[in-house]
Structure 1
Amino acid sequence: MLDTPIYVIDSADRKRFEETGQELAELLEEEKLSGVPVLIFANKQDLLTAAPASEIAEGLNLHTIRDRMWQIQSCSALTGEGIQVRTPASPLLLYYIIISLSWL
């Protein structure tokens, strides 16, 4: 089984992008995650103050990640927008993702 990190950020909290990027970089240094793709959920996209994916990528210094693929997925835990899971376990997985996002 392959562990794939799903990293969730508050896309409206620009002040924490640098700190968040440093935390993500530390997480990705874990040996068991070496080369594993990472999915970044940019939560709170329903807010007018939410940063677009390009600004998030720059703020998190994602351009420095060269040993794996990464993707930013815009989403809103409030509306459910951007959270599409297409697996047999979709309802349960979606539930856990929304619960995880809602604390932000």
Structure 2
Amino acid sequence: MAACWEVKQLIDRATEKVIIDRLEQAHTLLTVNRGNEETAFITRVIDRLPEIEKDIILRKYIQLEATYITHFDIYTDMGVVEGTYKKMRLRALYKIGAALGIVDPDVNPITLSEG
């Protein structure tokens, strides 16, 4: 339980929204075949995430059907409990936010290879 609390502290709700907005912009541009430097960068960052975090981000924010997929759909399909899913999703969002310069990795440092 304490580990989940630590992850929640990596980013606040407003920062989470900013990161998700950038992912949704990338999703839209990729959907209409109008990727740009930022979408290419975001794609590279996602590719560097641990597989389970990458899977969550792709399903929820990047894939064509992402708009229609719920968090519940993802964590039940993955066979993980909601709390574990939230921890992994927030950790992935933190890493993406750090790569995009939205969060300061010096405040709560974790690496892209941490799971």
Assess same fold via TM > 0.5: no
Bigger RCO of structures 1 and 2 (CA < 8 A, at least 6 apart): 2
What TM-score, normalized to structure 2? Answer: 0.28
TM-score (structure 1 length as normaliser): 0.30
Bigger fraction of residues in strand = 1
